[in-house]
Structure 1
Amino acid sequence: MAEDKRQSRPRPTNYRFQKRRVCNFCANHIDEIDYIELAKEINKSGERVGRDGERRMRYITERGRILPRRMSGVCVKHQRSLAVAIKRARNMALLPFQD
């Protein structure tokens, strides 16, 4: 009876594996993230508008929160330095704490 519950389900026929996302900083061989350049990039990319009419930012949400790794597609090493750079840019008033 316990073995019946453990049986795996058959995979659907339209099932596809997701393509592995590559870190943007690793792909461009960027070792250090400069908070001034990051603030310029975020402010510039804030002008993008999605299909549903919402603003799209790459590393922070509309409300100013830092996106997690699984959403931004950044590796662990660069996510840590990205968070530090965003926090420094906020303290230098280059980025808002909230929108």
Structure 2
Amino acid sequence: MAERRRFKKRYCRYCEQKVDFIDYKDLQLLKFSLSERYKIMPRRLTGNCKKHQEMVTAAIKRARQTALIPYIVDRKRVVENPFELIK
């Protein structure tokens, strides 16, 4: 029988820093939860706890509504670091 692989336990970045509130204007904090195509990364990849993942999701959606983060990225114009364009 095949052995099950053991993966390294991921810890919530926000619990370690003791963050109580995630602000939608803090783009440096939010960029770790976005993929290169501006999709929200799931909990299983980021290691966030449920409480902080919900706050991150709400903050990203608010930032998108205020045009701080784009909704989509063109397939032809994929940027390595999307936050370089935002200044």
**TM-score computed with the length of structure 1 as normaliser:** 0.64
Q: Quick check: 1:31 aligned with 2:20?
A: yes
Query: By how many angstroms is 1:27 displaced?
Result: 0.3
Q: Quick check: 1:68 aligned with 2:42?
A: yes
Percent identical among aligned pairs is 40
In structure 2, give the amino acid aligned to 1:71. L
**Distance in 1 separating the partners of 2:36 and 2:2:** 40
In structure 2, give the amino acid aligned to 1:26. C
In structure 2, what is the equivalent of residue 50 of structure 1?
none
Deviation digits for residues 5-64 of structure 1, max 9, x if unmatched?
xxxx364xxx76323111000000001101101x2x068xxxxxxxxxxxxx52112222
Count of matched residue pairs: 73
In structure 2, give the amino acid aligned to 1:93. A
Q: Quick check: 1:21 aligned with 2:26?
A: no
In structure 2, give the amino acid aligned to 1:92. T
Q: Report the secondary structure of 2:33's partner residue.
A: coil
Moved beyond 4 Å, runs of 4+: none
* Greater RCO structure (CA 8 Å; 6+ sep): 2
Structure of greater Rg = 1
Consecutive unaligned residues of structure 2, counting only runs of 5 or more, are: 74-87
Consecutive unaligned residues of structure 1, counting only runs of 5 or more, are: 1-8, 44-56
**Distance in 2 separating the partners of 1:26 and 1:60:** 18
**TM-score computed with the length of structure 2 as normaliser:** 0.72
Q: Quick check: 1:91 aligned with 2:65?
A: yes
Matched-pair contact (CA < 8 Å) for 2:10–2:46: no
